[in-house]
Amino acid sequence: MRCSCCGERRDPDSVAALLCDDDIRLCKTCIGWLMHQAGGVDVTATLPVSDMDAAEAFYRRAGFEVHRYDDGFAFVTLDDQSVFDLGADARATPTHNAAGCYITSTDADAWHDRLVAAGLPATRVETKPWGMREFSLADPSGNTIRIGKPLSPGPDA
């Protein structure tokens, strides 16, 4: 499928049609560019990890790409999109680390099934009072990764 903006051939799962015109389909790269044109910002958290090797193995097993530049810092991406970064910090242990991040996705249940199939310690998927259907996963350094789907989706619902 070709992106209506850049003209590149893209995986159909990575393009979305405009709400007002189903013939205009944009890829993630062009949507990201458009978001910045509209004044949007990207925020990437840095999660502290006490063991970079263990963190890299954990996040690769969870299906992410991990780009390490040295023993102290790494980018974690998914389909070339930044998700969060990892920063070495010896104090980050499960008993002392309260850091984490939230991944919002329209397919939280599919994420859950994939992570459980990979043998990772995901909690059950639950509906939360803050309007999300979510579960969580703790990494070896004690970072809590919440993954959830909004119960009141956007204009395409």
Residues contributing to the site for Zn ion (CB under 5 A): 3, 5-6, 27, 30
Residue partners of 134: CB distance under 8 A and separation at least 6: 108, 125, 126, 128, 146, 147, 148, 149
CB closer to Zn ion out of 34 and 151: 34
CB closer to Zn ion out of 23 and 71: 23
Name beta bridge partners: 81.
Answer: 78
Q: In whole angstroms, how close is the CB of 138 to Zn ion at the nearest point?
A: 36
Q: Which residue has the tokens 């949507």?
A: 31
Q: In whole angstroms, how close is the CB of 79 to Zn ion at the nearest point?
A: 13
Nearest to 94 by CA among 64, 51, 60: 51
CB closer to Zn ion out of 34 and 90: 34
The values of phi and psi at residue 7, to 5°, are: 80, 0
CB closer to Zn ion out of 38 and 157: 38
Here the tokens at position 101 are 């991040």
Q: In whole angstroms, how close is the CB of 157 to Zn ion at the nearest point?
A: 24
Q: In whole angstroms, how close is the CB of 35 to Zn ion at the nearest point?
A: 13
Q: Which residue has the tokens 């049609």?
A: 17
